[in-house]
């Protein structure tokens, strides 16, 4: 099992920056991908950024050029650098880990979420 703990959320003015962190603990081997999702009130949870273990980050179009996902394997931590924040970025941000299992499927783990609020 894997436990994910996010931190770094908060209130920021439009145009500002935040860095979210997600630290994985437990049985962290065989994690193949780490991602950040977000969910705003009344909206479906959406993928923001993802970084496979082999590299090659991908981003939602809405955040491309503004957000950067990165990882520190030594610390079992993934980051989301958020720049030029907009009010529409306001959401609860969730860390996600996908872990390979013997069946060939993935075990999915979620953090508790951290609130990001961007004021206009």
Give kind and range of the element (H or E) at residue 7. Answer: strand 2-7
The 10s digit of each residue's pLDDT in 101-117 is 888 888 999 999 999 99
* Cα angle 115-24-46, degrees, rounded to a multiple of 5: 45
What is the predicted pLDDT for the residue at 98?
Answer: 93
Torsion of CA 3, 64, 41, 112, to 10 degrees: 10
How far is the C-alpha of 95 from the C-alpha of 19, rounded, in Å? 13
Token reading at 61: 């179009």
Residue with tokens 């993935």: 106
Residue with tokens 């050029």: 65
What is the predicted pLDDT for the residue at 34?
Answer: 94
The closest alpha carbon to 77, from 40, 23, 29, belongs to 23
What is the predicted pLDDT for the residue at 55?
Answer: 82
Give every residue of the chain whose pLDDT is below 70, as ranges. none
């Amino acid at each position: 099992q894997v436990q994910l703990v996010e931190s770094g959320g908060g209130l920021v003015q439009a145009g500002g920056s935040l860095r979210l962190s997600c630290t994985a603990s437990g049985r962290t081997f065989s994690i193949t991908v780490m991602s950040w999702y977000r969910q705003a009130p009344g909206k479906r949870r959406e993928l923001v950024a993802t970084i496979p273990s082999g590299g090659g980050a991908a981003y939602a179009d809405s955040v491309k050029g503004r957000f950067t996902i990165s990882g520190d394997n030594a610390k079992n931590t993934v980051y989301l650098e958020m720049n030029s924040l907009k009010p529409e970025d306001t959401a609860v941000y969730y860390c996600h880990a996908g872990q390979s299992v013997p069946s060939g499927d993935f075990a999915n783990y979620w953090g508790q979420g951290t609130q990001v609020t961007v004021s206009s």
